[in-house]
């Protein structure tokens, strides 16, 4: 799954504030509801795993290796 957060080269700070990455969202981050909310990249239309802190980034990248 594609990652979404401050360490990604495509991350651009958006103008809406809703708690993503220190109260700033990526300009391209959206979401849709399946049974639960799923992060979606509007550039690639892929589901994304969103991280907001370095600790979450480490947990996600360590789990996938």
Range with the poorest average pLDDT among 7-11, 31-35, 55-59 = 31-35
pLDDT digit string, tens, across residues 12-35: 887 665 555 666 788 898 888 888
Q: How confident is the model at residue 42 (pLDDT cuts 50, 70, 90)?
A: very high
- Judge whether residue 2 has pLDDT over 60: yes
Show Cβ contacts of residue 7 under 8 Å, excluding neighbours closer than 6 positions: 57
Look up the pTM and report it: 0.75
Instruction: Collect all residues with Cβ–Cβ distance below 8 Å to 6 and sequence separation of at least 6.
Output: 21, 22
Mean pLDDT of the 3-19 span: 80
Average pLDDT, the chain: 84
């Amino acid at each position: 799954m594609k990652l979404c957060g401050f360490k990604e080269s495509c991350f651009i700070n958006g103008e809406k504030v809703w708690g993503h990455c220190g109260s700033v969202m990526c300009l391209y981050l959206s979401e849709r509801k399946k049974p639960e909310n799923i992060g979606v990249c509007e550039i690639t239309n892929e589901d994304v795993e969103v991280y907001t802190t370095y600790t979450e980034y480490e947990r996600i990248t360590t789990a996938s290796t």
